[in-house]
Structure 1
Amino acid sequence: MGEAPKEKVIEGQLLWTPREEFKNNSNVTQYMEWLRINRGKDFADYDALWQWSVTDIEDFWASIWDYFKIESSTPYKQVLDRRIMPNAKWFEGSLVNYTEHLLRHERTAKADEQVFHHLTETTPLAHMTWHELARQVRILATQMRTLGVKPGDRVVSYMPNVPETAIAMMATTAIGAVWSSAAPEFGVKTVIERFSQIEPKLMFAADGYRFGGKVFRREAEVRRIASELPTLERIVWLPFIEAGNMVPDIPHTISWSQLMSHADVSRESFKFERVPYDHPLWVVFSSGTTGLPKAIVHSHVGVLLEHQKLMHFQLDLKPNSVFFFYTTTGWMMWNLVMASLITGSSAVLYDGSPAFPSDLLWKVAAETGATSFGASPTFVQMMEKEGLVPSQKYDLSKMETMMVAGAPSTPETFNWCYRSVKKDLWVTSQSGGTEICSGFVGATPTKSVHAGEIQTRMLGMDVHSWSDDGKELVDEVGELVVTKPFPSMPVYFWKDTDGKRYHDAYFDTFKDADGNPIWRHGDFIKINKRGGCYIYGRSDSTLNRYGVRIGTAEIYRAVEQVEGVADSLIVCVELPGGHFFMPLFLRLKPDVVFDDVLQKKISAKLREDCSPRHVPDRMYAIEQIPYTLTGKKMEVPIRKLLMGWPLEKSASRDAMMNPTSIDYFVTFAQESIDYQWRPSDASANA
């Protein structure tokens, strides 16, 4: 039959309005009714609820605590100690455990009620029940305690998106140890730069992974990583590529099966480690534009409260929901897939290429009965390019929601979902970050969907668009700022003892009327009169590619080790249609030839040290890299030039160390039209 004829759609065009039954049955509507009965708060609509949530923030978050019956060994002293960022203390005095709440549904689940639907490129769809998941978590957690893993010890993972990784995360955090994960496609240097900062005691590692029909073995990489982590006492080895594979002769390595062969531990006898308000839950790594990637620490209580709100009210997940978002274990979205369990819903875990074959994810969505399906805008663009119409081939009748996250979405992206997936579909776009392990702006099931528009600001997130001089903007693009504290803010950065790196990352630009720091996220945002939001990419030098943020420092550390490279500069430009273009500019040493051989060396170095996502779309040899008078590479001004900004609004020659170096980029932006409409090659990393 083929794809239906395309209709031109414009930004902000009304595409969908929720049915009354859909709105009335939503979690947020039920919560509003609870507030009316139990708190005497009567809100006319979501917008009124949001306004209260960011005005009376202590009352709002206290209601979240009560509504979801948070289990704490001791009562909290106060919701919030002060409304000042950073270092605000949330629910001080409480003792909670995040994983205990993830697994609460085990108590009421039926024997055959499934929590995970999982498959890989070579293994068929299988299922795991709530009871089986909780049983394995208790066994592994108990054995980790036997191995000497204590609260506060760091446990790291170099594993694919399989149930064992989820079990390892939950077992780690169940006993108060601190979790951190890297995807197995990450190169050795990238992993070491992350894990060496937090000095792990134990590592979970797999023998490899599969992608696009190819096998990528990782024994040599694990061996090199372990050799650079002197604090590592144990490695738990998972034979993922070949079941029954022998444990390698890496010192202190034991097999997954050896740990899991111990006797069951009853729910009644197992004790979750309930921890204080500031105890680390996990360390996630965001891009390092200068220096090493930022080791961001989140707390149990902060993430617990935020994920209760996010999963129930913004994503509307319920015990009968099936949540499927394509992700790897190195992306914050993996943590959110795990968070879906907090609602009692089940989750789909798939490890492999999203396009092997091209319609695979839709097949999985149909077979698992996914009610909520998510992927990046790049994935949707790939589907449209291939002319795929999932609704004509697969039964997607159970799908209620399609979430497009990881990068700015376009009106065309939304329109394709309605045209090719389902007419009665709640299409949502979200934007947040690893820094908060959640979203700032996103969805609500009670509002209409407009083309390319993020429906609303999330509850408890006092998000605004500000001009460079700190003025509120409406219907204009400005900096995304958050003017009041929220629970899932980072507790701190690891080893950032004086808090300077944390402060410089988010709080060095804006202040409120009292001189207190304001969170500046680094995204361009527009908020219209009805509260709809548009994200226009990064306002700083961080690279946002396929929804994964990459620090420019990671690129430079690898590229400038290649013989013949003297200096480099990289930017990532968001293009019309939701595409990306990431060029790398190189200053070469004298007499070095810029040819295919050199470019292949650079690409190979980036793949080996970092990941395939770090490889640029194109490389250009230039005479000078532009620097400021203070010696900083001018990444943001160059990016603005390539996005079409005039020179006078992009850079000041007076503030440059080498003013003539900007001329190349002015000409490049004017004459090199080919890059402006060229999509990045997303075939490997959509």
Structure 2
Amino acid sequence: MVMVAEGEVLWQAPPDRIAGLNLTRYLEKLATKGLHFDGYADLHRWSVSDLPAFWSSVADHFNLMFDGTPTAIVTADPMPRTRWFTDTHANYAEHVLRHETSGDPGRTMLHHGSELRPMATASWAGIAGATRRLATRMRQMGIGPGDRVVAYMPNLPETVIAMLATTAIGATWSSAAPEFGAQTVIDRFAQIEPKLVLAVNGYRYGGKDFDRSADLGRILGALPTAEHLILLDYLPGAAAPETRIPVTSWEEALSGPDVPREAFRYTRVPSDHPLWVLFTSGTTGLPKPIVHGHHGILLEHYKTAAFHFEIQQGGALFFYSTTGWMVWNTLMWGPLMNGRAVLYDGHPAFPDANLLWRIADQTDTTVLGVSPTYIQIVRQQGIEPGRSFGLTALQSVMLVGSPSTPETFDWVHRTVKRDVWVSSQSGGTEFCSGLLAGSPLLPTRAGEIQAAALGVDAVALDEAGKPVVGEVGELVIRQPMPSMPLCFWGDGDFARYTASYFETWPGLWHHGDRVRFTATGGAHVLGRSDATLNRFGIRIGSAEIYRTMESIPQVADSLVLCIEDGRGGFWMPLFVQLAPGETLTDDLKATINRRLKTERSPRHVPDEIIAAPEIPVTLTGKKMEVPVRKLMMGVPLGKVASRDATRNPAALDWFAALAATRA
């Protein structure tokens, strides 16, 4: 593997690309109003020093449609009570679908496919028309503003239609992927007491069929407020769920007459009205129900889609995602920009890891979002996408979901496309967007997130609460953002919200990531705070160890922990999942230790290297460092992680058994 120096400049946008950027056009518009900025850093300083002016300019630039005049662009209330564009009313779905007639209504809005369906397209007229029909049926069912509508559905056009119809009438949306087990779904949906449920009867993943009718019946039985079920017959031959709730087929729900665009009324709602409820990953404890609003999400999503993903009009965004991950809620960035979205339901590497590249090529994807974990699979299979596919439309590859190594950046440039913009971005479910992002105005540096996003006052604080640069600290947001949660559902006094993010430094959002900012404004996310490694009083991030481990061919995956012994000491084991046919010999252990010592530091050398059959990861592919750490500290398996939120539950069982031998 080619080793690349961290921070090495790998790419700089040529002048013609800079001239065509959304951000360039925005800067030109600001200049007509007497606002001139010398590059991204200067613009960012203004965006966090004058929040009302910056966010007003975003609303104006994208022509957000409001009823009323804002009493305040941003209120003086401290986080988490800050509110935006007060006394105005807006609707999220209305903005997504307003481009129906901005060109041929028959042009493509969605590309979609699955292991059960071949790739196909859906037009703007088709999606918008279906949304209006379903929204009208929902109103006839008695669903209105504030009612909760939940979906147990995959990443399909029907799910997009359901989400848009729900939000179009002012109801509140939430979704869970059908691979979630019944209890995982109940833990989420029962908290918000839905009135309408949409679901599939099953799905196919990795070539295997999964009938979900029994789980669906159990879920419905645990939702006493549910009055209606709309069922999509997605998996052929799956059984019908047993339920007391009236069942309407998807076809019947959309069987009403067409509703002309001019005759349909979107329900515009206040800025504190709930748009959707997203949930934390559920790896520990009951998932937190995070409530977002129409106004905040619109402002943040327009800004991010245009300025940090640079989705152009007519472009296509392809994020591999399930409906249980906040990334699914960002797929409409494409249509918001009068472009397209690409949906895929199925295993991302079945029948092989060429799949996502093949889809990107077929759909003329311009912005591709994948996880570094997926890139690792592609590399291990020896795939070089640029040799197999044209990818002529591809402009950007976004690495999201976990920290990305310098070698991953370099691999994309060498094997996918030389002139592609590679960007690592970091955000969270809490914002349904990014905190640390990028821009083609800036150079791409190996392994580095380019900058804090516009409007995001992000800093690293040391243990004394002092901002630091060039040192590892806690990621903190010092000023409010429009897409910060309105609240946690049911947390009327903000007690749980405050305890989650504002307890460490009152008045400042403590995100829970360890981060290091560079002198040039870039950032390196080093992992979650509570998974930080403590070696002889020095804190180090797990990402540094994983970078070295990824370059050792005998190791397929790894997980490192630091366990306090209660006597002021620490035990740092490194668990390795070996590549097929490999064994953990003394020679391999010596190689790992030598590489870590020379490439990192003596502090990075583990106390013990242990072969594990598999490394446990969440459904979105994140290593389960925190739950495994708690297992090793004696916490019972049932209290540290939900099996249904784990992609490979048997891996957790192995670690639980190991922990029992250490008790």
**The two structures share one fold, judged by TM-score above 0.5:** yes
- Aligned to 2:297, the other structure's residue is in SS state helix
Residue 329 in structure 1 maps to residue 323 in structure 2:
yes
Map of 1:594 onto structure 2:
none
Aligned with 2:204 (options 207, 210, 229): 210
Residue 538 in structure 1 maps to residue 528 in structure 2:
yes
AA matched with 2:267: E
Residue 496 in structure 1 maps to residue 491 in structure 2:
yes
Preserved CA contact (<8 Å) 1:189 1:610: no
When structure 1 is superposed on structure 2, of 287-296 and 266-275 the one drifting more is: 287-296
1:127-166 paired onto structure 2 within 5 Å: 127-166=121-160
Cα pair distance change 1:59/1:257, threshold 3 Å = same
Moved over 6 A (4+): 571-579, 622-625
Per-residue deviation, 1:225: 0.2
AA matched with 2:99: H
- Aligned to 1:427, the other structure's residue is in SS state strand
Per-residue deviation, 1:574: 11
Residue 455 in structure 1 maps to residue 491 in structure 2:
no
Aligned with 1:113 (options 107, 115, 125): 107
Residue 612 in structure 1 maps to residue 647 in structure 2:
yes
Preserved CA contact (<8 Å) 2:145 2:169: yes
Identity of aligned residues (%): 44
State the distance in 2 between where 1:212 and 1:72 align.
45
Preserved CA contact (<8 Å) 1:155 1:177: yes
Per-residue deviation, 1:612: 2.3
Cα pair distance change 1:614/1:507, threshold 3 Å = farther
Map of 2:504 onto structure 1:
509
Aligned with 2:408 (options 413, 422, 429): 413
State the distance in 2 between where 1:378 and 1:541 align.
18
1:39-50 paired onto structure 2 within 5 Å: 39-50=33-44
Deviations 1:2-53 (A, max 9, x none): xxxx53201101100100111111000100000010x210001011000000
Per-residue deviation, 1:621: 4.4
Preserved CA contact (<8 Å) 2:317 2:333: no
Deviations 1:337-375 (A, max 9, x none): 123321111011000000012211111111111111111
- Aligned to 2:145, the other structure's residue is in SS state coil
1:503-652 paired onto structure 2 within 5 Å: 503-511=498-506, 517-540=507-530, 580=623, 582=625, 583=628, 607=643, 609-612=644-647, 616=651, 618-621=654-657
Cα pair distance change 1:509/1:579, threshold 3 Å = closer
Aligned residue pairs: how many?
Answer: 579
State the distance in 2 between where 1:75 and 1:412 align.
50
- Aligned to 1:128, the other structure's residue is in SS state strand
AA matched with 2:424: S
Per-residue deviation, 1:250: 2.6
AA matched with 2:135: A
Residue 470 in structure 1 maps to residue 465 in structure 2:
yes
Map of 2:437 onto structure 1:
442
Per-residue deviation, 1:75: 1.5
Preserved CA contact (<8 Å) 2:135 2:165: yes
State the distance in 2 between where 1:122 and 1:624 align.
42
- Aligned to 2:85, the other structure's residue is in SS state strand
State the distance in 2 between where 1:581 and 1:304 align.
32
Cα pair distance change 1:586/1:68, threshold 3 Å = closer
Aligned with 2:346 (options 346, 352, 356): 352
Deviations 1:452-497 (A, max 9, x none): 0011110000000110111011011110000011100100000012
RMSD over equivalenced CA pairs, Å = 2.8
- Relative to the length of structure 2, the TM-score reads 0.83
Preserved CA contact (<8 Å) 2:144 2:169: yes
Preserved CA contact (<8 Å) 2:213 2:239: no
State the distance in 1 between where 2:239 and 2:155 align.
21
Preserved CA contact (<8 Å) 1:311 1:339: yes
User: Structure 2: where are the runs of 5+ without partners?
Assistant: 533-540, 544-571, 577-595, 600-620
Aligned with 1:285 (options 276, 279, 284): 279
Preserved CA contact (<8 Å) 1:572 1:581: no
- Aligned to 1:119, the other structure's residue is in SS state strand
Deviations 1:529-557 (A, max 9, x none): 11011111101369x999xxxxxxxxxxx
State the distance in 2 between where 1:531 and 1:613 align.
38
Preserved CA contact (<8 Å) 1:159 1:204: yes
Residue 54 in structure 1 maps to residue 48 in structure 2:
yes
Map of 1:684 onto structure 2:
none
State the distance in 1 between where 2:573 and 2:193 align.
32
1:317-396 paired onto structure 2 within 5 Å: 317-358=311-352, 359-396=354-391
Per-residue deviation, 1:398: 1.0
Per-residue deviation, 1:107: 2.2
Preserved CA contact (<8 Å) 2:315 2:334: no
State the distance in 2 between where 1:281 and 1:616 align.
36
AA matched with 2:185: V
Preserved CA contact (<8 Å) 1:162 1:349: yes
Preserved CA contact (<8 Å) 1:442 1:456: yes
AA matched with 1:320: G
State the distance in 1 between where 2:325 and 2:374 align.
16
AA matched with 1:487: P
Map of 1:72 onto structure 2:
66
Cα pair distance change 1:290/1:125, threshold 3 Å = closer
Map of 2:583 onto structure 1:
none
State the distance in 1 between where 2:632 and 2:518 align.
43
Map of 2:92 onto structure 1:
98
Residue 28 in structure 1 maps to residue 18 in structure 2:
no
State the distance in 2 between where 1:87 and 1:615 align.
42
Preserved CA contact (<8 Å) 1:119 1:349: yes
AA matched with 1:220: A
Per-residue deviation, 1:113: 1.1
Per-residue deviation, 1:573: 8.7
Per-residue deviation, 1:146: 0.2
Cα pair distance change 1:86/1:268, threshold 3 Å = same
When structure 1 is superposed on structure 2, of 176-185 and 76-85 the one drifting more is: 76-85
AA matched with 1:18: A
Cα pair distance change 1:62/1:13, threshold 3 Å = same
- Aligned to 1:91, the other structure's residue is in SS state coil
Per-residue deviation, 1:579: 8.8
- Aligned to 1:90, the other structure's residue is in SS state coil
Aligned with 1:14 (options 4, 9, 13): 9
Map of 2:247 onto structure 1:
253
State the distance in 2 between where 1:268 and 1:573 align.
62
Aligned with 2:75 (options 81, 88, 93): 81
AA matched with 2:24: T
Map of 2:586 onto structure 1:
none
Preserved CA contact (<8 Å) 1:193 1:292: yes
Cα pair distance change 1:61/1:523, threshold 3 Å = same
- Aligned to 1:324, the other structure's residue is in SS state strand
State the distance in 2 between where 1:179 and 1:288 align.
19
Deviations 1:416-460 (A, max 9, x none): 101110110100111000001000011112111010001111000
